[in-house]
Structure 1
Amino acid sequence: VLWLGGFALQRIHWTHPVGKPLTVSLLQGDIPQELKWRDDAVRWSLATYAKLTLNSTGRLIVMPETALPLFYRDVPREYLEGLAAYAKSIGSDVLIGLPEAETAGNTRYFNSVLSFGASPTQVYRKYHLVPFGEYIPLKPLFGWVIKVLNIPLADFSRGAKFQRPLRVSGQAVAVDICYEDVFGEEVIRQLPQATLLVNVSDDAWFGDSIAPWQHLQFSQTRALETGRYMLRATNTGVTAIIDQHGRVLKHMPEFKAAALNGVAQGFAGETPYVRFGNGPVLAVLFAGLALVVLRGRRVASR
């Protein structure tokens, strides 16, 4: 019944195209993880992404997570203004992954994506943080881990739980950062308003392993269950364009500094998952558990 039901539901077009097809340029800088956060390598990162951006022609240009290894306030103004001016000159928007520092009151840090170009500047701040990688749980007990392991930027704060899609390049873009796209119930918080999904990641930590490809499969699942294109921009791979059926249309080889150019389509509408999330699955699981418990009691009472 589940198989037949799934097959039947898959044949229904839950979403429909909205807006014109969108040219995209997804940037992959291939900055080695052991160099990325070193002071003497910052110029390399900035130069790499400036070159890739200024040679891109997509209406939406996307850099990966923390592509610029500087706080937003510390990035040279002329650098950002140059990228924004170029994007504006070709009618484009560029999404840039970089950390932010908010100094009003207690200083807080965010893993963010900011937009620059033809549309007004907007920001998405990562909500689902990696424990011991981006924040230290029970900090009074485990705060020493940051110093011992020398983890860069391991004290981020959460962004807001509910954030609006970024209005860029004629689309409403739901951004998620790194492994946030593993959690479908969090991705759909920006839907059905969002017409396009974007994931920015840095999976360089995993080296030449199967982990980046597994992460790509999570992105494919998010595209399929929401009925929307997913654009992935990563530091070392796997940078890819995924359609609304979860199929990888194009991807770039790992460990190569280049731009993946292609076309994406915005989609509107609600799939069952966008509307109900994990609710139906959890209901079935709890119902099954209840039946097992009831059956066990009946057997025990005989």
Structure 2
Amino acid sequence: MSEAGDNSDRENELIIWPESAIAGLEIDMQRFLQPLSEELEMKGKTLMSGIIEYDINTDEYHNAIIMLGQLPIEVSYSQTSTNRYRKHHLLPIGEFVPFENLLRPLAPYFNLPMSSFHRGDEVQKNLTSGLATFAPALCYEVAFPELLRKNILQETGVLLTLSNDAWFGSSIGPDQHLQIARMRAIEFARPMLRSTNNGITAIYDDQGKELGRLASNTEGVLRQKVQPAFGFTPYQRFGSTPLHLYCLLVIILTLTLNYLKGHKKT
């Protein structure tokens, strides 16, 4: 998926690969990533991709998004570049084990591969390129609007979500996951770019209108021109507070009416 026209060689193209697109640790993939980044830069293209980041100094693993190719000079790609995103909302059991000292010894089920990720910060810098500024979410993080709300700034022009939907199987999961992502586009009035490995890849504009999609388990490339959008929506300003107040008011009114009914009977 990319922000581009029909010509695959045109410059200023953003290419988006999904979560787990690069099957290897970033530290072990430098002989592939460095030449790829240089080639993309020469062609005037930018690549976003999911990858597993490993910090040899801290022995920490992160589910991450990195950017290669044509980037602002101060944020060009390297293994230590800060123009990256580390997943904050980790998947229980799949990416981390709660109370792992107690649970891991109980059964092999709690020792799944790659189940010891470290959590990224709740608030992180947006990803930046020469095309736009992006607020990212990895996999089911897109289901947490308050997390995105904390990371959408005045200069944020596009929402981005990468996902590995393989674990949904043949269920309705990919369709539901897609609709959740679309809801974020509507809430924040910004385009949403969604790239998945075998789920539903799609692009929505700032009103939640679908601009194109690739069906699940379909090999292909989705290309579309996307216009970044700015400003703050009511949800961006107030979050879920009005909804919480409304629910509280309904509860109070319900309790009051029940009390008055009971009082009249007596």
- TM class by smaller structure: 0.7 to 0.9
Q: CA deviation at 1:57?
A: 6.6
CA RMSD of aligned residues (A): 2.3
Higher RCO, 1 or 2 (CA under 8 Å, sep at least 6)?
Answer: 1
Contact 1:24/1:61, CA 8 A, preserved across alignment: no
CA distance in 2, matches of 1:253, 1:96: 20
Aligned to 1:190: 151
SS in 2 for 1:268: coil
**1:137 paired to 2:98:** yes
Q: Deviations over 1:130-152 (max 9, x none)?
A: 11111101112212477336522
Aligned to 2:15: 61
| Count of residues in Structure 1 that have an aligned counterpart in Structure 2 | 252
> Higher mean Cα deviation, 287-296 or 157-166?
287-296
Q: CA deviation at 1:300?
A: 4.0
**1:126 paired to 2:87:** yes
Contact 1:59/1:169, CA 8 A, preserved across alignment: no
> Higher mean Cα deviation, 141-150 or 265-274?
141-150
CA distance in 2, matches of 1:255, 1:146: 33
**Structure 1 segment 42-53 matched on structure 2, within 5 A:** none
Q: CA deviation at 1:90?
A: 2.2
Contact 1:60/1:169, CA 8 A, preserved across alignment: no
CA distance in 1, matches of 2:44, 2:104: 46
Aligned to 2:31: 78
Aligned to 2:67: 115
Q: CA deviation at 1:223?
A: 0.5
Of residues 26, 43, 46 in structure 2, which corresponds to 1:93?
A: 46
Q: Summarize the Cα distance change of 1:115–1:196 in structure 2 as closer, same or farther, 3 Å threshold.
A: same
Aligned to 2:163: 201
Of residues 186, 202, 223 in structure 1, which corresponds to 2:185?
A: 223
Tell me, which stretches of 5 or more residues in structure 2 are unaligned? 78-82
Contact 2:3/2:223, CA 8 A, preserved across alignment: no
**1:154 paired to 2:154:** no
Tell me, which stretches of 5 or more residues in structure 1 are unaligned? 1-20, 26-53
CA distance in 1, matches of 2:11, 2:88: 31
CA distance in 2, matches of 1:240, 1:275: 27
Letter paired with 1:183: F
SS in 1 for 2:230: strand
Contact 1:127/1:158, CA 8 A, preserved across alignment: yes
CA distance in 2, matches of 1:183, 1:145: 31
CA distance in 2, matches of 1:24, 1:240: 16
Q: Summarize the Cα distance change of 1:135–1:126 in structure 2 as closer, same or farther, 3 Å threshold.
A: same
Of residues 233, 247, 254 in structure 1, which corresponds to 2:209?
A: 247
SS in 2 for 1:220: helix
* Identity of matched residues, %: 31
CA distance in 1, matches of 2:261, 2:152: 46
Q: Deviations over 1:240-274 (max 9, x none)?
A: 11111112210012212322111111000011111
Of residues 166, 171, 179 in structure 1, which corresponds to 2:140?
A: 179
CA distance in 1, matches of 2:108, 2:256: 52
Q: CA deviation at 1:56?
A: 8.8
SS in 2 for 1:228: coil
CA distance in 2, matches of 1:262, 1:80: 25
Aligned to 1:103: 56
SS in 1 for 2:65: strand
Alignment TM-score, normalising by the size of structure 1: 0.77
